[in-house]
Structure 1
Amino acid sequence: MSEQELQEDVSPFDTVSKGTFTRSERYQRLFELYFVAPAKIVWSDWRARFGVSILLMYIFMGTVGTLIVTEPSPMQGPVLLSPFQDWQYPLGTTSNGQSLFSLLVHSTPPMLKMMTTGAVVSVLIASIVGTVSGYKGGYLDTILMTITDIMLTLPGLPLTIILAAITGATSPYVIGFILTVHSWSGLARALRSQVLTLRDEPYVEASRLMGISTRKIIARDLVPNLAPYIGINFMGSARGVIFGSVALYFLGVLPFTNLNWGVVLNRAYNGGAMYGFDTAHWLIAPLFTITLIALALVLLAQGMDRLFNPRVRARHVDTGGEAEHPATK
């Protein structure tokens, strides 16, 4: 029998790759796939690029900025100084002489902690409940969805106020959890609906027939398909924590702390910043700070559609230096 006939008799399932990759080359491919390609995709979309740039600025403010900028204190400077008159107080001062710039910078770390905690907790609970419920079905689905429906019916604001009053929480991590303790239920229901359509797909059925565990099927087959929706909701949860915390601090529901954007707004409102041109900066500065970070989260969420698009990712991986291995030529 000729060599050509022997090759034709070989099953395609018995064909193996002619090339091998070293450990360093495998790590390089993973680095390109999970770091280089996402970075290029983000940078190629102006919305994501703008959003990431603003968020990095806030992270810099919350880490390095607190070390550079002097902590605010009473009678730190002249009373109600207008912005840009003295570069030691670039955003002006409050009625007790505190630097507005110092207040906003030193209020950033607690806000970042609340945002991160609230968004992570909300998305994590929703992802676990939604995927497990949709994939397993049966009594487990009934129990999990009953709990989810109960959380959906609870009024969010009164629940948050009650929990804040009972716990007397001052830690930003605890406050972030309290603000999102009820918000995971809607995302969990939406994820369950998506999983119900995915669990009967051929590749999921194949994994099930091969005896792969439920945990691995959910992690490898289902979650990647839900990543765009989860990512967008992560940004939405973070934005909700910002608005919720600012509102509750403004109303005086959460324990008082001088270093919070909501408290700055409360003092500006009570100090008559709405009624005088000379004091308007006291109100405008925190409002602009809140609006800018919320806008960054919205733009980043819009740009994440391309980040999770497999065709876009493949194109950026190819242009990121993934060359054909010499042994496969």
Structure 2
Amino acid sequence: MRVIWSDWRTRIGTLIILFYVFVATVLTQVVPESKGGGPGSPRYAGILEVPGYPLGTNANGESLLPKLVHATPPMLQMIIAGAVFSTVIATALGTVSGYKGGLVDTVITTIMDIAMTIPGLPLIILVVVIFEPESPYLIGVFLAINAWAGLARQIRSQVLELRDKSYIEASRIMNRPLRAIITDDILPNIMPFVLISFVNTARGVIFGSVALFYLGVLPVSFPNWGIMLNNAYSTGGALYSWDSLYWILLPMITIVMLSFGLVLFSQGTERLFNPRIRARHASSIDETAPMEQ
């Protein structure tokens, strides 16, 4: 936590991400899932225009605040499932391929090349149409179904450079097990890149899910910001009227802020995984400990 707080980018990014987690866990219990929509509900009410509707209403008189809040948990679930799925597979295959070499490298590289030749969007649409997933976790995995291949290739290239370093050679001479060499010597050096790639995959899941929900490809089984954008465009004419522009701007700002928080967090993560910086902070804590006592 001290390392995170020492970098303003990681600090702001962490606060933004924690805010979305707070919305997904606490506000969803406080804000009712649906409000308004009845005969007496205000229609096209702007932000802070009508008491009880802080973010305004849509064409049906429904409050936009519950829609934004209750779309957050499924989005975070899709991000976690898709980004973790893609990053774990890419890191495992890329690391083993780059370090082992030989036949193992040839087989894994061939699989990567085949996966990279498959067009992503048609594959995602085909898989979604066939399986018709309703779970946010499953949708997240489908959205990142072939995003791992390019990342695995990049990780392999980095591991190829690292495996000839003197400290890794020393580990091999000492007959350290492969698992220890990968976890102790290789992964700490590539983790900043891996985490940045994790964030890029997460952003891809965000934009991909919003786009496919907007186009009506994904099943409408839970709230999503893409559905709000579709309704604002198709029924509210938000692109053509200043009076209903807020309807399309609110989900857009929500999407951009989540992506921005992830990017800021990833930019400062080198401090989390760089052993020298961690050791520096650990020594500074040890030096101040007696003074605090």
Q: Does the TM-score normalized on the shorter chain lie above 0.5? A: yes
SS at structure 1 position matched to 2:285: coil
Count, aligned residues: 287
Instruction: After TM superposition, give the deviation of residue 285 of structure 1 in Å.
Output: 0.6
Residue 49 in structure 1 maps to residue 14 in structure 2: no
1:80-91 alignment, distance < 5 Å: 80-91=44-55
Which residue number corresponds to residue 219 of structure 2?
A: 255
Which residue number corresponds to residue 118 of structure 1?
A: 82
Q: Percent identity?
A: 51
Instruction: After TM superposition, give the deviation of residue 207 of structure 1 in Å.
Output: 2.1
Aligned counterparts of 1:96 and 1:257: Cα–Cα separation in 2: 20
Aligned counterparts of 1:111 and 1:181: Cα–Cα separation in 2: 17
Q: For residues 170-222 of structure 1, what are the alpha-carbon distances to aligned partners after superposition, in whole Å with 9 as ceiling and x for unaligned?
A: 10000110011111111101111111111122222222233322222211221
1:1-329 alignment, distance < 5 Å: 39-73=1-35, 75=37, 77-257=41-221, 259-271=223-235, 272-321=237-286
Aligned counterparts of 1:66 and 1:88: Cα–Cα separation in 2: 17
Aligned counterparts of 1:134 and 1:258: Cα–Cα separation in 2: 41
SS at structure 1 position matched to 2:268: helix
Which residue number corresponds to residue 30 of structure 1?
A: none
Q: For residues 72-104 of structure 1, what are the alpha-carbon distances to aligned partners after superposition, in whole Å with 9 as ceiling and x for unaligned?
A: 256164222111123421110111121111100
SS at structure 2 position matched to 1:320: helix
Aligned counterparts of 1:324 and 1:83: Cα–Cα separation in 2: 50
Q: For residues 245-297 of structure 1, what are the alpha-carbon distances to aligned partners after superposition, in whole Å with 9 as ceiling and x for unaligned?
A: 00010011111235100001001110211111221111111011001111111
Structure 2: unaligned runs, 5 residues or longer:
none
What letter matches 1:49 in structure 2?
R
What letter matches 1:68 in structure 2?
V
Instruction: After TM superposition, give the deviation of residue 235 of structure 1 in Å.
Output: 1.1
Q: Call closer, same or farther: CA 1:170–1:324 in 2, change over 3 Å.
A: closer
Moved more, 158-167 or 202-211: 202-211
Structure 1: unaligned runs, 5 residues or longer:
1-38
Instruction: After TM superposition, give the deviation of residue 307 of structure 1 in Å.
Output: 3.0
Instruction: After TM superposition, give the deviation of residue 312 of structure 1 in Å.
Output: 2.6
TM superposition score normalised by structure 1: 0.83
Aligned counterparts of 2:211 and 2:179: Cα–Cα separation in 1: 39
Q: For residues 285-322 of structure 1, what are the alpha-carbon distances to aligned partners after superposition, in whole Å with 9 as ceiling and x for unaligned?
A: 10110011111111111122333333332222222235
Instruction: After TM superposition, give the deviation of residue 225 of structure 1 in Å.
Output: 1.2
Aligned counterparts of 1:193 and 1:251: Cα–Cα separation in 2: 37
CA contact (8 A) 1:61 1:105 kept: yes
TM superposition score normalised by structure 2: 0.93
What letter matches 1:129 in structure 2?
L
